Amino acid sequence: MGKADEYRHTLISLTDWDEYLLINSGLPGPRGNLELAAVVADMGNLALFEKYIIYDPQKAPVNSPYEFLAFCGVLGLGRLVAEGEKEYLQTIRSFASDPRWRLREGVAQALQRWGKVDMAGLLQEMHNWASGCWLEKRAAAAALAEPVLLQKPGQVKQALLILDAITASILANQHRKDADFLTLRQGLGYCWSVVVAALPEEGIAFMQKWLAYSDPDIRWIMKENLKKTRLARIAPEWVDEQLQRL
């Protein structure tokens, strides 16, 4: 019996999951129990998810076991969206700006659940998020930077266009000192490489355009992506040339 099966077997036997989840959350610690969270998202219902997302930063601060409950709630809403209940998208979007980084990761994972069954729908929605605040932009980029989702060239091209629009929005904004922008910048520092690796010829053309800019934040983002092994594997000579030029 695998770990996920063990979790399912245990949860089926319990009428109240809270204590079990808190004990097995993995928090405090460097890594929450993502396997358990996925099982909770699969097995839970709306009432449970709504109960868990009430754990805000005051009730469930960073690295506390109760933060894990909130994470499970967001991930569970992603399952409901994947099942066609799109009305929960707005709630998920509100957590894109949560001060807790695990909740922001939960948003990306929730969106990826949707993308696995409706990538076209996810892409359409991420076009909207790409016009949002810094952290909503970051959520859109992180959600799309998942190799499993990037299988169809036409959809990868749309993902590239969304990353392009997000990156372009940096140039139009001079307010780049706050933590939210730095979080977006950090995310873009790897997201480009993931999407480009899925469609190298078109992706490299997009990156080549941005490599011509002297803006320090754009250059940092491009340089970080060039350092990623996935890009070095598909275009080693081009990557070396660009790194030397930078």
The string of pLDDT tens digits covering residues 64-121 is: 999 999 999 999 999 999 999 999 999 999 999 999 999 999 999 999 999 999 999 9
**pLDDT tens by residue, 13-22:** 999 999 999 9
Per the prediction, the chain carries an average pLDDT of: 97
Q: In which band, very low, low, confident or very high, does the pLDDT at 190 lie, cut at 50, 70 and 90?
A: very high
Q: What is the pLDDT of residue 230?
A: 97
Predicted local distance difference test score (pLDDT) of residue 177: 87
In degrees and rounded to multiples of 5, residue 2 shows phi and psi of -75, 170
pLDDT of residue 224: 98
pLDDT at residue 32 tops 80 = yes
pLDDT confidence of residue 237: 97
- What pLDDT, on a 0 to 100 scale, did the predictor assign at position 175? 82
Alpha carbons 38 and 34: distance in angstroms, whole number: 6
Contact present, 207 and 225 (Cβ < 8 Å): yes
246 or 113: whose pLDDT is higher? 113
Q: How many CB atoms lie within 10 A of CB 156?
A: 22
Q: Report pLDDT digits (tens) over 208-236.
A: 999 999 999 999 999 999 999 999 999 99
DSSP character string of 221-243: HHHHHHTSHHHHHH-HHHHHHHH
Q: 83 by DSSP, 3-state: which?
A: coil
Q: pLDDT at residue 1 above 80?
A: no
Q: Is the pLDDT of residue 246 over 90?
A: no
State whether the Cα torsion 121-74-14-23 is positive or negative: positive
Question: pLDDT class for 173, splitting at 50, 70, 90?
Answer: confident
